Amino acid sequence: MQIYCFSPFGYEGSLVSVEVDLRRGIPAVDIVGLADGAIKESRERMRSAITNSGFQFPPERVLINLSPADLKKEGAGFDLAIALAVLSAKEKLERDETSFNPEELEHSNLAFSEDPVLVMGELELNGKLRPVRAIHAAVSTAYESGIRRCIVPNANAEEAREVEGMKVFGAGDIVEAFSSLFNPAAFTVKKDASESTEVPEGAVSIDGVFFPPVNDENDYKYVTGQELLVRGLQIAAAGGHNIIAFGPPGCGKTLSMMRYSSILPFLTREESQTVTRIWSIAGLLCPGKNSVMEVPVRIPHQTATIEGMCGGGPHCLPGEISLAHNGVLFLDEAAEFRSSVLQMLRVPLESGSITLSRAGRSTIFPAKFQLLLSTNPCPCGNFGSSEKICLCSSRAVEQYWRKFSGPLLDRIDIRVQVESKAAKEGVAGISSAELRKKIASAIRIQRKRQGKKNVFLTPSEIAEFCKLTEEARKLLDTASDRYEFSPRAVSGCLKLARTIADMESKPDIDGKSMEEAIVYRKPQGAMDVMK
């Protein structure tokens, strides 16, 4: 039987084979195979855990090999794998030496299963197990490599079972973990794959699309006077389009965007698996929450660094853009972010992934996120206002907007200039429940037609799915000449119009859908400074 562990690095990580050799010599424990400090310290934790659990630690010299030898191993998740490998080697040695008297062996009437097993867990000195991060990633990688059994701490067991087909044993201590090696029936697997993506309690189904429950804190019915922005957010949710809202302080930009999650549906099974893996690697899965079903919404602070946004560090952990994969990255007061941070977003917005290189190793994190930006139109916030005087010079306004750069803004399909309007007493806005109806219609059509949101349509798919009426074609040609649309802007306009048509269940893009798409795609207000 071969015992494997997992060394987390980036999105992929690596399986590590744990081998133990007991030989004559001065009693000692040697670990070879580029182990870091945490793994080397596991020698003492493992020895104490084995002794305090009632086992006898091997009196021989113990050699532990972690292979492949040229791969650096990191983390405390190796504790249990090393301990079980040592106990297994000791058991095998005792069987060989005392084969003539088998009743002296505790597990003499049982045999190790020959199937390989993945083992993860951190040991306490009393032999109990602590949960570790990256369990979902470890189990997924092991399953792809042909390993069908795993032993993990009880706290991580349900997370491991989210990987369909994997047989899991949740252990509370080293005694239970070692006993499971002799009992293949102790490993269990979820029989019904649908259990792995069970819709949370209270979910609302609209046209087969599930949404989370709405409460007063995030319902759009309390947002009044901003119909244009709310409509833009509805279209963005239906097609996954990026959006920027700019206007004076206090006009309702942040209020509207902070409620955006209330009109986003739950993730599909495929989307959830990838997001869960990323959050597991980052150690962000909440206790008792085995998978991520709600759309992730990340709101980093304006002081965020490139490393914080991209990811990195000694273990190459995911950054904000990867944590927002299949979800939303909301940059409030976007102009206050560093220019380098804003420009860094351009490549992942286009490719849907980000490649990180650290210490001679590289990893590719998924990063298909929807970008939401809110900002003031100028440093003082009053540019374009009919009620207040702007104190900024033309040069100051231009420099303010050049922080975003033309290429970044060109990747944003929806641009909304928000005006400061007083809420009318007794007049309620459109509720989130009402907004969801057209969003659900569009999402259902997209999932059936191409299996992804319209924002990710390729040029060939645009030609296939974005059929225009004669009126819509003329409108697009006229707008393209008038506003000097780039080829990317034309594609964005077509995808935006496709989403609007899907919301109305129209097979082709008509003039009305194209006209609304042009209204949201064209430069507006302060953004004309960039032209």
Q: Band of the pLDDT at 112, cuts 50, 70, 90?
A: low
Mean pLDDT of 367-385: 91
Residue 108, pLDDT above cutoff 50: no
Between CA 394 and CA 407 the distance in angstroms is 21
Residue 423 vs residue 404, higher pLDDT: 404
pLDDT of 197 reads 46
- Tokens 């085995």, residue located: 290
Cα 247 to chain centroid, rounded: 31
List Cβ<8 Å contacts ≥24 apart for 501-505: 502/238, 502/239, 502/441, 502/442, 502/445, 502/446, 502/454, 503/234, 503/235, 503/238, 503/438, 503/439, 503/441, 503/442, 504/438, 505/441, 505/445
pLDDT of 455 reads 96
Residues above pLDDT 90, as percent of the chain: 67
Query: How long, in residues, is the chain?
Result: 531
Between CA 456 and CA 240 the distance in angstroms is 8
Residue 289, pLDDT above cutoff 80: no
Tokens encoding 517:
């798409």
Could you tell me where in the chain the CATH 3.40.50.300 domains are found?
A: 204-530
pLDDT, mean over the chain? 89
pLDDT of 286 reads 76
Q: Which tens digit of pLDDT belongs to each residue from 472-491?
A: 999 999 999 999 999 999 99
Give the range among 76-85, 109-118, 154-163, 203-212 with minimum mean pLDDT: 109-118
503, 238 Cβ separation under 8 angstroms: yes
Cα 271 to chain centroid, rounded: 9
| Cis status, amide bond into 102, omega within 30 of 0 | no
Residues above pLDDT 70, as percent of the chain: 91
42, 82 Cβ separation under 8 angstroms: yes
pLDDT of 195 reads 43
pTM: 0.89
Give the H/E segment covering residue 258.
helix 253-258
Residue 249, pLDDT above cutoff 60: yes
pLDDT of 313 reads 82
Residue 109, pLDDT above cutoff 70: no
Mean pLDDT of 33-39: 89
305, 341 Cβ separation under 8 angstroms: yes
Q: Which tens digit of pLDDT belongs to each residue from 299-351?
A: 999 999 999 999 988 778 999 999 999 999 999 999 999 999 999 999 999 99
Q: Which CATH architecture has domain 3-191?
A: 2-Layer Sandwich (3.30)
Nearest by Cα to 229 from 435, 411, 401, 386: 435
Strand 311-312, strand 117-119: pairing:
unpaired
| CATH code that applies to domain 204-530 | 3.40.50.300
Amino acid present at 476: L
Mean pLDDT of 1-17: 92
pLDDT of 507 reads 95
Question: b or e along 441-479 (b: 16 or more beta carbons within 10 Å of the residue's beta carbon)?
Answer: bbbbbbeeeeeebbbebeeebeeebbebbeebeebbeeb
Q: What does the DSSP assignment read for 56-88?
A: PPPSSEEEEEEESTTS-B-SSTTHHHHHHHHHH
Nearest by Cα to 370 from 436, 325, 304: 325
Between CA 206 and CA 69 the distance in angstroms is 53
Residue 220, pLDDT above cutoff 70: yes
How many CA atoms lie less than 13 Å away from 296 in the CB half-sphere? 27
Give the range among 53-57, 106-110, 182-186, 278-282 with minimum mean pLDDT: 106-110
Could you tell me where in the chain the CATH 3.30.230.10 domains are found?
A: 3-191
Q: Which tens digit of pLDDT belongs to each residue from 418-456?
A: 887 755 555 678 999 999 999 999 999 999 999 999 999
Q: Which tens digit of pLDDT belongs to each residue from 150-196?
A: 999 999 999 999 898 999 999 999 999 999 998 888 998 876 544 44
Between CA 322 and CA 409 the distance in angstroms is 21
Count of C-beta atoms within a 10 Å radius of residue 387? 8
Question: b or e along 423-437 (b: 16 or more beta carbons within 10 Å of the residue's beta carbon)?
Answer: eeeeeebbbbbebbe
